[in-house]
Amino acid sequence: MVSKILLVILLLILVASSDNEIIFNGFTGANLSLNGLAQITSGGLLMLTNNTKEGQGHAFHPALLHFKNSSNGFSASTGSATACHYILGWSFSLNGTAQPLDLSKLPSLPYQENSKKISHLLAIALPLVAVVLLLLSIAVIFFVRRKRENYEELIEDWELEFGPHRFLYKDLFKATKGFREENLLGFGGFGHVYKGVLPTSATEVAVKKISHESRQGMREFVAEIVSMGQLRHRNLVQLLGYCRREGELLLVYEYMPNGSLDKFLFHGEQPALTWSQRFQIIKDVCSGLHYLHEGWEQVVIHRDIKASNVLLDREFNGKLGDFGLARLYSRGTNPQTTHIVGTLGYLAPEISKTGKATTSSDVYAFGAFLLEVACGRRPIESHPSVEVPGLVDWVLGCWKMGTILETRDPKLGSDYVVKEMELVLKLGLLCSHPDPMARPSMRQVVQSLEGDAPLPAMSTDALFTSTSTQRYDECFDDFLMSGPSISDSTNITYPPPFVSGGR
């Protein structure tokens, strides 16, 4: 059986004074007899129960006091519930009115004491919390500002019309993991290229970072980029959009998983391409270049056709990249400065005189590209101990001696189609003719490769002679010697022994 909590104060006092009265303004130092749970707290409270069930507490005054009616003895009970009972003070008189308690001397209840302690703590803690919050606010503002600076990009009012083609720098930064070295796919004359995955769509992209300090004509520059983003052809790498930030221009392309053709031709770590793969890639690039020259509403001149700018998708289909980028980039230069863009060995000789690229100069570069794919050699190779003839001269010489098939890439062995190999080699020589008027158009090249038209009749004597080739070299030597320095006025790149992949 659950016993009740009996709260009893038996104040049986033998009063020495004449008025038979007692008064306790708090119980500190009080001479009481305590029993059970009863105790006097350090604050002067008489605590009879301490929130414990089935407990009792008694407090007795040691002296007796005889009441007129013994049945009006004093008690309280909480039954089976738990509670804390405190007595702050007591005033008692047998005769007359008891003295009033001095409220200022009464002890505080526990929650009031705690409140005082909390108030003291708050008085100390609140300023500290305020200081901490202030420091956190400053840190957050600094972090946000720093992050904003990382993502800061240049947007002008006129770009609103190009909104759908513009990427947020924040998205490109996240996509490339902050343009980390591990995401670098390659680099070339126009900048570095990074692989990225767009956070919003999980689309794989290639982001090319180009330094473009000139703001003159930037509106036209961006307009043409957006215009080129409208080009649609299965053999052109799709330009998805752009972003501008300070002195940087970022171009976003579709990602090509197998990278550049260059690494398959000249880097030993990649498996050699079969002839059927090479011949298909040649036709792919030819189709894409024909579209740039004749298939769109404007004529687009590539200016830098070479293996490192031909990219391969998952099925090893060839796609021409960086189309028109050379022409766009030259818009940011000083119009008073001659600006030749391209790679030696692919540059048509007439460019040294006119400084202008044409569809015919693109054909010349395509001819050099045909020879490098078939022969597995770059148009110009540098060997310090041996003088090696240029690729065109070498293939032409072998043709004169009736051994043109010996110029094929040794990695092919005998696994090739003789008719196709001869077609590619001779077509490469024809496209590389020093006279731009003698070169075929890309439409004619497509017809020849597809077997829809025969290769134009020609002889070795009708092509280059060693004298004309020498004049070609001297043209560029004279141009480079008499003109401004290469670093200031041109964007000619030399094909080194090891060239990084294009994307």
Catalytic residues: 304
CA–CA dist 16, 143 (Å, integer): 79
Task: Please report, as a single letter, which amino acid is at residue 485.
Answer: S
CA–CA dist 150, 245 (Å, integer): 10
CA–CA dist 404, 407 (Å, integer): 6
**41 burial level (CB within 10 Å; 0-12, 13-18, 19+):** middle
DSSP calls for 374-405: HHS--SS---SSS-PPPHHHHHHHHHHTT-GG
DSSP 8: E
Return the residue matching tokens 């990225």: 196
Question: How is residue 458 written in tokens?
Answer: 């020609």
CA–CA dist 423, 418 (Å, integer): 8
Contact of 408 with 421, CB cutoff 8 Å: yes
CA angle 437, 399, 305 (to 5 degrees): 50
CA–CA dist 365, 302 (Å, integer): 10
DSSP calls for 196-242: EE-TTT--EEEEEEEE----TTHHHHHHHHHHHTT---TTB--EEEE
Angle at which helix 442-449 crosses helix 275-290, to 10 degrees, equals: 150
CA–CA dist 155, 251 (Å, integer): 15
CA-based R_g, the chain, Å? 47
3-state helix, strand, coil in the chain (%, to 5): 40, 15, 45
Question: How is residue 87 written in tokens?
Answer: 């007595």
Return the residue matching tokens 């690039």: 285
Contact of 235 with 442, CB cutoff 8 Å: no
Question: How is residue 43 written in tokens?
Answer: 């604050």
490: Cα separation from own chain's centroid:
32
CA–CA dist 78, 51 (Å, integer): 11
